[in-house]
Structure 1
Amino acid sequence: MNKREFGFQLESFACTQLKKSQCLIVENNFQCKLGEIDIIARDGQTLIFVEVRYRKQSSYGGAVASVDLRKQKKIIQTASFYLQQKKLTNKVSCRFDVFAIEGSAERLSYNWIKNAFTA
């Protein structure tokens, strides 16, 4: 399995966990000129923008630490573009989650951080 296929499997895994928590998946891999958002979902009335990150090892802070300020700003800009495109600006509450996955393909662990950062 190549890196891209493994990434799609990890995002699918994250979607499954979100659905188990009663979230509704709105869109996967939203892309625009500003960037990409892995998963857009609804948790009740809240629209959530989910960044899925994977690291094989937790060295250097692991998957969570890889969502640095630069990455956060890019996600926020992309989310703003999405909200404008869908005419949802100021009409829906939003949050930014990180779905951090670590370990080998045979033994994964995850940490779903709700409200990982704010705009």
Structure 2
Amino acid sequence: MSDERRRRGDAIEAAAREHLRRAGLAVVATNASYRLGELDLVMHDPAARGGGTLVFVEVRYRRSNAYGGGAASVDRGKRRRILRAAQSFLAGHPEYARGACRFDVVEASGAADAPTLHWIRDAFRADDC
């Protein structure tokens, strides 16, 4: 991956992380990488389901929506890799293993330095993979 593409990705993930933080979610981990996949953001949503929910967030950037938004690019194979990475994360963090989890997508479009963000809560479920 080029340095420019990495910088753009980091900036967009930072914008998504801040957007979710302002919405009340707390950062648990960023860019958690495992042999079977990577998790862009792992957040905790304290307002969800009484005791809170662990949220695995995929951040997808498109300069334009001409070929579909970012969520459209989270196909079955990508969902499967995210699920496997989430399972690896939970295996390494047993304090979260018994709680509720969900999978969200943050679509980012437009200029990388000031993206337009669209947060899709519960974008897919484990049984969709």
Q: TM-score range with shorter-chain normalisation?
A: over 0.9
**Aligned residue runs from structure 1 range 69-84, under 5 A:** 69-84=76-91
**Larger deviation: 57-66 or 109-118?**
57-66
In the alignment, is the contact (CA less than 8 A) between 2:55 and 2:103 conserved in 1?
yes
Letter in 2 for 1:116: A
Find 2:7's aligned residue among 1, 5, 8. Answer: 5
Letter in 2 for 1:15: R
Once the two structures are TM-superposed, the CA of residue 70 in structure 1 deviates from its matched residue by 0.8
Which whole-Å CA distance do the structure 1 matches of 2:14 and 2:42 have between them? 13
**What RMSD, in angstroms, separates the aligned Cα atoms of the two structures?**
1.3
CA offsets 1:71-113 (integer angstroms, 9 cap, x no match): 0111011101111111233x11000000000113365211100
**TM-score calculated relative to the size of structure 2:** 0.86
**Aligned residue runs from structure 1 range 1-119, under 5 A:** 2-44=4-46, 45-87=52-94, 88-89=96-97, 91-105=98-112, 108-119=115-126
Which whole-Å CA distance do the structure 2 matches of 1:38 and 1:106 have between them? 18
Which whole-Å CA distance do the structure 2 matches of 1:13 and 1:60 have between them? 23
Once the two structures are TM-superposed, the CA of residue 20 in structure 1 deviates from its matched residue by 0.5
From the superposition, tell whether residues 21 and 68 of structure 1 become closer, same or farther in structure 2 (CA, over 3 Å): same
Structure 1: runs of 5 or more not aligned? none
Which whole-Å CA distance do the structure 2 matches of 1:25 and 1:106 have between them? 21
- Runs ≥4 in structure 1, deviation > 3 angstroms? none
Q: Relative contact order: is structure 1 or structure 2 higher (C-alpha 8 Å, sep ≥ 6)?
A: 2
Which whole-Å CA distance do the structure 1 matches of 2:24 and 2:76 have between them? 29
- Number of paired residues? 118
From the superposition, tell whether residues 43 and 56 of structure 1 become closer, same or farther in structure 2 (CA, over 3 Å): same
**TM-score calculated relative to the size of structure 1:** 0.93
